[in-house]
Amino acid sequence: MKADKDLIIIGAGAAGLSAAQYGSRANLSVLVIEELASGGQAIVIDKLENYPGYPEPITGYDFSQKMEEQAKKFGAEMKYGTVKSIKKENNLFHIELASGIITCSALIIATGAKHKKLGIPGEMEFSGKGVSYCATCDGPFFKNKVMLVVGGGDAACDEAMYLSKIASKVILVHRRDRFRAQKALAERVLKNEKIEVRFNTECQAITGVDSVNKVKLLNNQSNEVYDQEVGAVFIFVGSIPQTSFVGEWVDYDEMGYIQTNEHMESKTKGLFCCGDVRNTPFRQLIVAASEGAIASHYASQYIDELSGNSY
């Protein structure tokens, strides 16, 4: 049975679109399946200024459109729909959508991860206008301002340390009485003179005019509610990798991210994963794009092996 496509990529963020470009340039028939809109998390970026080749800031939306246009230029096709399940039979992957089943020889999962939200007033309204889930991406826009970090794990502590280099002051709030982060990392945060840690404290609301200028905080021990002036809010309360359709075809780490080797290949031959859905050490657009290129390169080699044309 011949596959419908050589390569199918699930997810049209930076990783997926990069994989689509490289797969198409390798003369593979490539289909990208996206649930919502091309770009993934990048489309909410107001000013992308740290991607090589863009000396002037570009919106995440425009950046994503250019990536899609480039992938299509090389021959990749786009399809919108929700993947319900995947399986592999006789060297063919079967991708189930509401509209039917599509088969391919190699499969790349690039569905990313969604940031957990606080679900408080102002969070969505000021997303990209002072509310961020990536200190490396957005921290420099608020240089020399007071910044609030919400969270108590490794990510919150890591990002607070990074922000302390550019903020006038960092206030780190955590709803519990101790960090969940690794002890060494937590100690570095507590010793940093530019970081003020407030345990047993929750962020209840975010306010501002054109951008964030104030938050409402609750001390959950004394029940005191008070306002705190800040220039930005960085939220690190976890992420949810988008893997509900994948099942047991891959291995996961303790946080639910897909594990791969250095070729981006999972435990199932021909099934590759890249970008934020993978247990990648550094979640940035440039890393996702690089992983997409790697995944596609080795997917192409895998297809050559199937056809007896490996080199």
> What integer pLDDT is reported at residue 104 of this predicted model?
98
The whole model's pTM is what?
0.79
> What integer pLDDT is reported at residue 213 of this predicted model?
95
Q: Is 104 a catalytic residue?
A: no
Instruction: Give the active site residue among 137, 203, 273, 274.
Output: 137
> What integer pLDDT is reported at residue 74 of this predicted model?
97
Instruction: Give the active site residue among 134, 157, 203, 273.
Output: 134
Superfamily of 5-114+239-306 according to CATH:
FAD/NAD(P)-binding domain (3.50.50.60)
Instruction: Give the active site residue among 6, 138, 158, 276.
Output: 138
Locate 36 and state its tokens.
């919502």
Domain with CATH 3.50.50.60 in the chain: 5-114+239-306, 117-235
> What integer pLDDT is reported at residue 154 of this predicted model?
81
All residue ranges of the chain with pLDDT < 70 are 44, 46, 310-311
Q: Is 137 a catalytic residue?
A: yes
> Hey, what amino acid is at 296?
S
CATH class, domain 117-235, is: alpha beta
